[in-house]
Structure 1
Amino acid sequence: MNMKLELFVLPISDVDRARAFYEKAGFRLDLAKDINEDYRVVHLTPPGSEASIIFGRGLTTALPGSAQGLYLVVTDIEQARAQLVERGIEVSEVFHDGKGVFFHGHDAGDVVHKGQGQVRIAGPHPERASYGSYATFSDPDGNGWVLQEITQRAPGR
């Protein structure tokens, strides 16, 4: 049986501010509904994605900004970064992980993530290896997103 990740509940503090940010980033608005003053839902989908985000009032008890490591896969990291920057989104410079396995940092400004063995090296992966180049950004609450360049999927993906 296939299981596809379809939806992620994003913890935010201000529904209108979050909606404006994600629409500015190019996410498609799928639903915006005020049920009552305690329950409000906004559902958006990143460009070309089958998975979506949902946020609002009365949806989660998670702290705003506590979602980290939300990956958006792109085929051209520099073009994807440029498009977000053109839309007014603050995005880190493109980098690659010096350990070359999996980027697992959170702060866009960190160079070395102490205790994690994480090392950010400026620029895309030297061979432009699939899964090897990244850029990061955060929404107004601090929920952390990672752009990851994948040009050729690993077997079975």
Structure 2
Amino acid sequence: MSAPYSELQINRVLSSKLAADVAAALQELASLGFNEMQITTTLELLLSDRENGRKGEPPIDLVTSGPETPGITNRDTAVVVRELFTHAQKSVLIVGYAVYQGVRVFEALAKRMHALPDLDVQMFLDISRPDNDMTQAEILISRFAQRFRDSQWPKGCRF
């Protein structure tokens, strides 16, 4: 099979329900400059991951929390994160816009980091910059990290 990829080509090897989407995805890869060998290698890696990649590993938990919004059910942030932090085994990825009551929220994580020194923890938090503020990014980040450690992270715990 070679580019240009069509639904008709794909329909010979996959169900008609998937053919259009797969053909479009393959065509997108080709338009990005992927040659047939690169596309084949990519598909083989995906197949290998699906067949072998996550055996025995717990699934990834994605949880949203925060204020109630019509049509979206969110759990209480403190309850959710405490539960997730307490049971984390390998890694924790935190993405957030604002941190409130951080000492209380992050206490379970700090304890877990102490119990599992190899626990990989990454935080991606919003660092706001006032309008017309020309402070260098490195300085803003350093100040934010210091404020976070001082006011949002449990005292005496590894950061």
Would the TM-score normalized by the shorter structure come out above 0.5? no
Task: Mark the structure with the bigger radius of gyration.
Answer: 2
Higher relative strand content: 1
Compute the TM-score of the two structures, normalised by the length of structure 2: 0.23
Higher relative helix content: 2
Compute the TM-score of the two structures, normalised by the length of structure 1: 0.23
